[in-house]
Chains A and B, each alone.
Chain A
């Protein structure tokens, strides 16, 4: 009991050590002795403390930043170079001032601090209005504490920067406070597991403070492209401001207002005018017996005759007339042009705003935060059926939507009636691997195979093969093949538009499988397989495993047993499943006289696997990989 009390006290002491504002250059004994992050012992550096304090000065928003980082291992010494990016633009939208930095090393407990000279801080114009301050800390070594502080003013007060409580190294404590003024009212959204559970929140005379502790580092992991969506974060958007003593003006107060604002932007850029599009449509056959046929013609016309540039976002940069003239535009511009063409043919079509995966938030919050959207897709009603359309991908067939836009919901835009709608894009992006293994007269193993990939898996194949073709590289680079194998032929047929699949046919010759008439011959039946190697090698994960979508892979190999051999042994039949049936695998050998067929199937039924299931998934996938590599054993017949 005493021990527990002591632990509680220590915990409180530890908390109180960071509960008050930290003084620049003053370190407590915990910080001086800190050498390993208990919740992430592999970390080579740690943010001991970071704080943002925001205030309004008239119409300027100012945040004071304060960071304290400790180097824990040799590989962390590179943290001695720090970048502070800010957007200056043409109008000095953001400005940095009061930048000071300090490094402290300890001889025992004795601090030896060095203030970073001005000539060790560089201001760099990065481009496109962005600038950076770059600090090079001197004397950085294991045990150094790096500390820096600065003020940033921001003229944009509609959407505030907010605060991200996590870094690419672990963070012991991260705190953000904002002091509101009566004339401006903001809506706040927070996200993240810790934010929603253990964050310390205080309100005091209009100052709101959030403190989060013991935050894991944010780092990319395999099968997790959108880890930014898991950041612990708060954001703010202006909801209303005081115009006069008695009069208040609402800002984006509901979805309808937000939708109308966005639609007004599209209207201002001419995307609801029909005349510029008439130029596009002039002389082009968009006619069809059904609305679907017309829409497909319009979609493919734009896809084939317009080029995508690299601009992103849900607001068009160009006027529609400019787009029509240059025929080069962003995905949103092309989508809106498609909408225009469809509407001009009397087809009902509306844009839907979405926050794509990896843009910071894939679950919408029930307040009209404009920042949660970053791209667009289209909703069209064709012959009474609903379709989602998107020109983001120059190779995607009609009806495919960029995978990052496969989110749960979006904002359906229609004048005075915009609303959140669920998004559901069903597809069977499966793969079927079939092959026949036989021996030629020279005892070479001949593998005749075919790989059929459906929907988005097929689209990925289409992209990869086109890239190889563009670079004049052989198609067999689609796969990782043993360099001693001879690819006799390989071709790919793209039937995505017509039938939603691609087919890759190949013949591979493998010499020496029959090693000089050895008594036993071992053959791995699956020469090309996605999961013959376990992709999960890390011993633990921070994020869930995200396969992107549910899918299945079916493998079927038929081995023709060569003359003079008989099947002596083969891997056993097996069917396994992860808990709750999220992932299934089956393996089934079938003997058919002088042939043997092996059929294997992996099914991922739930695309996102909870991080707590990672160890089980790793073991499961190792079982799959082992089985996929298990050999058939052929035995030489003594007297054939």
Chain B
């Protein structure tokens, strides 16, 4: 019998074959800059910046443009900019404070935030030009500092950079160096203050591939700090957590009527997880996330009373409300700070400081956490999703804060997809298709998120775009989600017509590739299980040309099992894939791995030519 292995070749590929074309990054500007950060006794600080940027081409103009953040707690005190033609020494352009444009600094989702920017855009058709920039900004609070980054832009050559920090010892600073190789000096000033100076020079030019953890940086944090009237210490996580607790203390009082409603919801429920689930579901159904960043620089939560009144809140407000609801029901719960974002680096755990941009809740049952993302209207209680999973967080308690780690959801039980396809070919080569899909864990949550963000037409199109079977015209699309405790579960049924599912060559009937392609985000949790079956009704008289023997591939990080059966003109295919990534991988390596897995058995199923009437 003639047979062909179904693209078995993919498993023999080496790791990454695509040439990288790596070359030295081009240089569009060079920079020398110095910064002086002077902390005063009132816990405020002044940041003065002097820059000289030589712009070598139009691509470097953005490096010389100025954007200065300000809000109620940050004031711009001074700005000057001068553009000089280095060939003649003549000034081409000058700008002062009055020339700065003003705009809201919109984060893309907040209805209201106090964040604004003043900016100036440098334009020139002549190169090189020298741009001299001086700024002075006063920050009313030393609660947080921007890191010092000597190489400010990609494709920029750093000539030299200097940072001086002057501070009263009573306030103090702490810092953490990352890939700094220049000089550092310490000095005690005559007035008792301390002065630290860092100097860096001639650091490598960076391109877009630079990662935050590879960059040259100095992270700075205070020892003592004050934000409006709230003073605190930041020497360890406990102190920072305690300050945060005090900032929100007393803002979790529930209106009596609401409190009674809450208690009624759980009055007949003894199981603590069920209590949490019921209250969380109540929050999800009746409150929506609205980002309004007001109150103590946007760090203090709105009161639980206001959240109840408006039925909305930002992450702080909804978390504070949920905490109050759980405590009313006798469940301990703790406001928890996190640096959220899909794929974001973990915080620097050895530099206690304000490194957070989001708030979640840690409810506890017998001191074991049940994590709650209170801005979500769809997550099950105890499941966080990729926005906040697998990272260190600061749990805030009345006696201080402590670091904890959120779950990674790496186990395969959190990453399962099952597909069941039935296809029936017609005489034109089109096929009717019914697909039933069952998702568990992270894939289920992703599907739920999409169903909440897109209208149903967009959902159908999203499914179609990501379907391995091209040419699908969806006639019916059903999506349902549920949860098994904290495990998200989703089921999808899709019915439709697959256009041109089969075509004929001179001798054969060929089916379109139909195996589900694993996607990059699906292996982001390291483990992933896919099981799928296909029952394909073929025209009468077809004879298989391919090997019906099972195909089994076992590699270090994945295994694939494919079984084929042809019986009564029906092709039955079972495909099982288990992915288990051992070491962290960069995106390119993951893409190569996926390509390897997807190409196994991705070849064309073909049969000796039937009497198919191709139109």
Q: Given the interface contacts A44-B455, A483-B592, A572-B505, does A519 sit within 8 Å of B461 by beta carbon?
A: no
Give the residues in chain A near B8, CB-CB below 8 Å: 515-516, 518
Partner of A74 from the list B102, B452, B512, B592 (CB cut-off 8 Å) is B452
Contacts of B123 in A (CB 8 A): 307, 309, 326, 328
Q: Does A538 contact B (CB under 8 A)?
A: yes
Q: Closest CB-CB distance, A565 to chain B, in whole Å?
A: 12
Q: Which of B18, B103, B451, B505 contacts A569 (CB 8 A)?
A: B505
Minimal beta-carbon separation of A180 from chain B (angstroms): 37
Which A-chain residue is minimally distant from B10 (CB atoms)?
A: A512
Q: Which residue of A lies closest to B109 (CB)?
A: A81
Given A326-B123, A534-B471, residue A475 in contact with residue B21 (CB < 8 A): yes
Contact flag A122-B111 (CB < 8 Å), given A483-B588, A626-B503: yes
Q: List B residues 1-29 near A (Cβ within 8 Å).
A: 2-5, 7-10, 12-14, 16-21, 23, 25-26
Check if A125 sits within 8 Å of B595, measured CB to CB: no
Within 8 A of B (CB), among A497-544: 509, 511-516, 518-522, 533-534, 537-540
The smallest C-beta distance from B93 to any residue of chain A, in angstroms, reads 8
> B596 an interface residue at 8 Å Cβ cutoff?
yes
Cβ of A83 to closest chain B Cβ, rounded Å: 9
Given the complex of chains A and B, what is the CA–CA distance between A570 and B507 in angstroms? Answer: 8
Interface residues of B in 396-455 (CB under 8 A from A): 451-455
A478 CB, nearest partner CB in chain B, Å: 12
Residues on A with beta carbons closer than 8 Å to the beta carbon of B101:
127-128
- Check if A125 sits within 8 Å of B102, measured CB to CB: yes
Given A472-B208, A522-B4, A623:B500 Cβ within 8 A: yes
What 1/0 flags go to A613-631 for Cβ under 8 Å of B?
0000011001101110111
The answer to whether A120 touches B17 (Cβ under 8 A) is: no
User: Please, which residues of chain A bring their CB within 8 A of the CB of B454?
Assistant: 75
Q: Contact: A487 with B19, CB < 8 Å?
A: yes
- Residue B358 is within 8 A (CB to CB) of chain A in the complex: no
For the complex, is B186 an interface residue (Cβ under 8 Å from A)? no
Question: Do residues B25 and A472 form an inter-chain contact, with CB atoms below 8 A?
Answer: yes
Which listed residue, A127, A141, A485, A520, touches B545 by the CB 8 Å rule?
A520
A57 to B304 CA separation, bound complex (whole angstroms): 46
Contact assessment for A139 and B311 in the assembled complex, using a CB-CB cutoff below 8 Å: yes
Interface residues of B in 576-615 (CB under 8 A from A): 588, 591-592, 594-596, 599, 603-604, 606, 614
Contact A519 B2 (CB under 8 A): yes
Residue numbers in B under 8 Å from A629 (CB-CB):
512-513
What separation, in Å, do the CA atoms of A199 and B452 have in the docked complex? 35
Tell me whether B516 is interfacial, beta carbon within 8 Å. no
Known contacts being A125-B104, A487-B18, is A538 close to B457, with CB within 8 Å?
A: yes
Choose among B10, B455, B500 the residue with the greatest number of A CB atoms under 10 Å from its CB. B455
Q: Who on chain A is nearest to B207 by CB? A: A472
In the assembly, what is the distance between CA of A512 and CA of B155, in Å? 39
B470 at the interface (CB under 8 A from A): yes
Which of B173-181, B286-294, B531-539 lines the interface with chain A? B286-294
Contact B13 A512 (CB under 8 A): yes
Which of A124, A470, A476, A622 interacts with B18 by CB under 8 Å? A476
Interface status of A297 (Cβ within 8 A of chain B) = no
Inside 8 A of A474's CB, which chain B residues have their CB?
19-21
Residues on A with C-beta less than 8 A from B14 are 511
Within 8 A of B (CB), among A444-472: 470-472
Does A639 interact with chain B (Cβ within 8 Å)?
A: no
A594-628 interface with B by 8 A CB criterion: 618-619, 622-623, 625-627
The reply to whether B13 and A305 contact each other, CB–CB distance below 8 Å, is no
Q: Is A73 an interface residue (CB 8 A)?
A: yes
Residue of B nearest to A310 (CB): B121
CB <8 Å contact, B455 and A138 = no
Q: Write out the residue numbers on chain A whose beta carbons fall within 8 Å of the beta carbon of B604.
A: 522, 631
B16-A483 in contact (CB<8A): yes
Neighbouring A residues of B311 by C-beta, 8 Å: 138-140
Is B195 interfacial (CB 8 A cutoff)? no
Query: What residues of B have a CB within 8 angstroms of the CB of A81 in the complex?
Result: 111, 290
Q: Which of A304-336 contact B (CB under 8 A)?
A: 305-307, 309, 326-328
CB of A484 closer than 8 Å to a CB of B = yes
Contact (Cβ within 8 A) B104 A124: yes
Within 8 A of B (CB), among A130-146: 134, 136, 138-141
Residue of chain B at shortest CB distance from A615: B473
**Given the known A-B contacts A470-B59, A484-B10, A539-B460, are A630 and B503 also in contact in the complex, defined by CB atoms under 8 Å?**
yes
B596 and A484 within 8 A (CB)? yes
Known: A75-B452, A140-B288. A537 touches B464 (CB 8 A): yes
Instruction: Take A42-B455, A327-B126, A626-B503 as given contacts and tell me if A126 and B104 are in contact as well, using a CB distance cutoff of 8 Å.
Output: yes
- A537 touches which one: B9, B461, B599 (CB < 8 A)? B461
> Which of A487, A568, A626 has the largest number of chain B CB atoms within 10 A?
A626
**B378's closest neighbor in chain A, by CB?**
A74
Residue of A nearest to B292 (CB): A136
Q: Which residues of A contact B259 (CB under 8 A)?
A: none
Could you tell me if B21 and A476 are in contact, using CB atoms closer than 8 angstroms?
A: yes
Contact assessment for A136 and B290 in the assembled complex, using a CB-CB cutoff below 8 Å: yes
Say if the beta carbon of B309 comes within 8 Å of chain A. yes
Residues of chain B contacted by A512 (CB below 8 angstroms): 9-10, 12-13
Q: With A141-B286, A484-B17, A512-B10 as given contacts, are A539 and B452 in contact (CB-CB < 8 Å)? A: no
State whether A42 touches B456 (Cβ < 8 A): yes
Contact string against A for B residues 464-484, beta-carbon threshold 8 Å, 1 for contact and 0 otherwise:
110000111110000000000
Q: Cβ of B125 < 8 Å from any Cβ of A?
A: yes
Partner of A484, one of B13, B19, B124, B155: B13
19 A-B residue contacts at CB 8 Å? A73-B455, A77-B377, A125-B102, A126-B104, A136-B292, A138-B310, A307-B124, A307-B125, A327-B125, A483-B595, A484-B17, A512-B13, A515-B7, A516-B8, A537-B464, A538-B457, A569-B506, A626-B500, A630-B505
Taking A139-B286, A511-B17, A522-B4 as known contacts, 18 extra A-B pairs with beta carbons closer than 8 A to each other, sorted by chain A number, are A73-B456, A74-B452, A81-B290, A134-B112, A483-B16, A484-B599, A487-B19, A512-B13, A515-B8, A516-B9, A522-B604, A533-B470, A570-B505, A572-B505, A626-B470, A629-B512, A631-B510, A633-B508
- Mark B residues whose CB is within 8 Å of A: 2-5, 7-10, 12-14, 16-21, 23, 25-26, 58-59, 101-104, 106, 111-112, 116, 123-126, 155, 207-208, 285-286, 288, 290, 292, 309-312, 377, 451-458, 460-461, 464-465, 470-474, 499-500, 503-508, 510, 512-513, 545, 588, 591-592, 594-596, 599, 603-604, 606, 614
A-B complex: 3 closest residue pairs judged by Cβ atoms = A512-B9, A127-B103, A327-B125
A interface residues (Cβ-Cβ under 8 A, vs B): 41-44, 73-77, 80-81, 117, 120, 122, 124-128, 134, 136, 138-141, 305-307, 309, 326-328, 470-476, 481-488, 509, 511-516, 518-522, 533-534, 537-540, 568-572, 618-619, 622-623, 625-627, 629-631, 633, 635
